[in-house]
Structure formats: structure tokens, C-alpha cells
Amino acid sequence: MKDTVWLDCENDLLMYIDQTKLPTELKICSCDDVFDLYEIIKRLSIRGAPAIGVGAAIGLFAAANKFEDETEDGFLYSFKKGAEYVNSSRPTAVNLSWAVKRMINCAEQHKGNGVDAIKKALKEEAIAIYNEDIECCKKIGLHGEKLIKDGDGILTHCNAGSLAAVRYGTALAPIYVAHENGKKIRVYADETRPLLQGARLTAYELAESGIDVTLQCDNMVSSLMREGRINAVFVGADRVAANGDTANKIGTSGVAIIAKHYGIPFYVCAPFSTIDFNCESGKDIIIEQRLDSEVTEMHYKTRMTHENVKVYNPAFDVTDNSLITGIITERGVFTGDELIKQK
């Protein structure tokens, strides 16, 4: 697999795989404009919490490098406004706001050295965020791999693999490391309605990597678990509250409830930057509401329901910490009670 997002250092461009085109087309695109960056993240061309953060950091540098402001004050004003605009594209994933704040802080810390020096620092910071994500995901994989036995069947929901980060991903990182270490594993990927990230992305990247993967509809989870095919569940997270509640793609909490019923361990994999210690619990997480058309028309040749039907389409749901066996980060595996001590 190629990196999902990266910096073209020679031309100072954000490069990315357009995930809306997968699995039928592997399209590589570029960006150096704040307004385009907002749309790219909003329409899910770049999606997955870590990838959004890295993409935002690189994209903000690429856009800022084209700013024509000659004074520091003018440049910093334009950069902050652009960063705030990009930050508003997706409200749930904390990695976006984390990366945006980091880039703003970087710009402010180099005030007084001139516009060119600020741009240079922003480039270095964006590259650092990119490299840190790769290292972080590999560490998540190393910690999580210890929880996988040879021959295990692993269930995952949505896409938290390499396409959701730069490489390795979060929830799929333990699977990739286990595969590298020669463990024979079977992965079951929920299709993940309505955007089908599991069908379009997870199944695609696992199959491309030579990993045994089976696709099933979201409502088939209980059947799989009842038949004894699932030994563990690994999912990602777009935001983790201080108490260990997690927000992930819609449908995740249902999987956790069913796993609890069957006594199957349920693990959430996320970079430590995904933990929002200012968010006390899942009740405080803002849940993004998306377009009706994603349910009624997307992936259909014609509209599949009556035009007067109302649509409920939250992008995420919250999984209570009591349902989570462990939260796997680059720092290790924690329960909700242990997490707050890491602040």
C-alpha cells in the first residue's frame, strides 16, 4: 500500500489518495489551497482520524506557502483564519483540531523571525507530524499484536487501517504486525453502512496486503459471534473521552454490546492524541450529522426510498467504557480507569 497522505517536498504540495474513488480507482491528488483542503476533508477524500490530522497539517503548510502576505502580522492572520476554517470541516475527530492547534502554535512560536522562517518551521512541523504518525501506528500494532493468537478470527468495523492513517493504521495495525510475524489470522470486515468504509476500504487494503478477509453486512455480527468465528474485536476511534468512552463510526457501540454478550474482548486502537482530556465523557462529544443522501441515494443507481421519508444519519456513536476491554495506544494498553492517570 502507498502512504495515504504525504508531502511532495519538492513542490510543497499535499498529496493524498482520494478515498472516494476506491476500490475501483487508485487516484492520487494534490492540494495547496485552504478551501480545497476543507472540501477534501469534508467529503471524505481524506478520512480516518490520524490521516485527517496529518493531511490537515501538511495541507495547511502547502496552502500557507502560497500566501502572498509580506508582513508577519498579515501572514499569521491569514494562516489562523485558514486553519480555523479547515478545523470546522469535521467536528468529531479530535486529531484534526489537535493538528491544527499544533500548526498554529508553531507559527506563533516563530513570530519575529520573518515570514520565510515561519514557513520553514511549518514545513518541518508538518513533516514531524507525518513521521510521528507512522511511528505511533507501528507501536499500536506492536502492543496490539500481543493480544492476537495464531488462528484467531478478528472482527473490525469501518476502516481504521493504513487508509485511515499514513501507514499501518490503528485498529488494523495489530493485524498487519501479526501478519508480518507469520500468524495465521482471519479478518471479518463489517461493510459499515451507509458509507461502506468496510466494504470499500478495509476489505480492499487487507486483500491487497494478502490477508484473509471476509466481508459481511453490519447486521451479521451476532451470527458470526454466535458461531464462534470471532475471537476479538479491534476498532478505531475518532475521539476518546477522559473516562474512556469512545466515539467511532456509527454502529461501533452495537458491536461492543454484542461482543460483551458473547464474552469477546473488544479493543479500541487510537493514538494518544485522540484522547481529549477536556472531554469528561461520551456525553460531551459532538456527533457529526451527515447528508440524507448518503442513506437514500449513495451507492444506488436510483433513490431507494420515498422522497418524503426523514433520514437519521449520525456519522458516529459513543461506546461506553464499560464495554471496552482495553484502549491500545502507542504508550500501551489501558482501561478507562487507567487512562485518566496518563494525563
Catalytic residues, by residue number, are 238
Look at the chain and count its residues: 343
Inter-residue contact 242 to 252 (CB < 8 Å): no
Q: DSSP letter for 286, please.
A: P
Cis (ω within 30 of 0) for the bond into 314?
Answer: no
What is the spatial distance between Cα 167 and Cα 5, in angstroms, rounded to a whole number?
9
Inter-residue contact 276 to 327 (CB < 8 Å): no
Cross-strand bridge partners of residue 215: 189
C-alpha cell at 28: 492520487
Cβ-based neighbour number of residue 194 at 10 Å: 20
What is the spatial distance between Cα 250 and Cα 247, in angstroms, rounded to a whole number?
9
Inter-residue contact 41 to 52 (CB < 8 Å): yes
Residues 53-77 as b or e (16 or more Cβ within 10 Å = b) = bbbbbbbbbbbbeebeeeebeebbe
| Sheet with strand 275-276: strands edge to edge | 275-276, 239-241, 246-249, 316-319
- First vs last C-alpha separation in the chain: 34
Cβ-based neighbour number of residue 332 at 10 Å: 14
Inter-residue contact 232 to 268 (CB < 8 Å): no
Q: Return the closest-CA partner of residue 63 out of 85, 45, 93.
A: 85
DSSP reduced 3-state for 277: coil
Q: DSSP letter for 340, please.
A: G
C-alpha cell at 84: 480555523
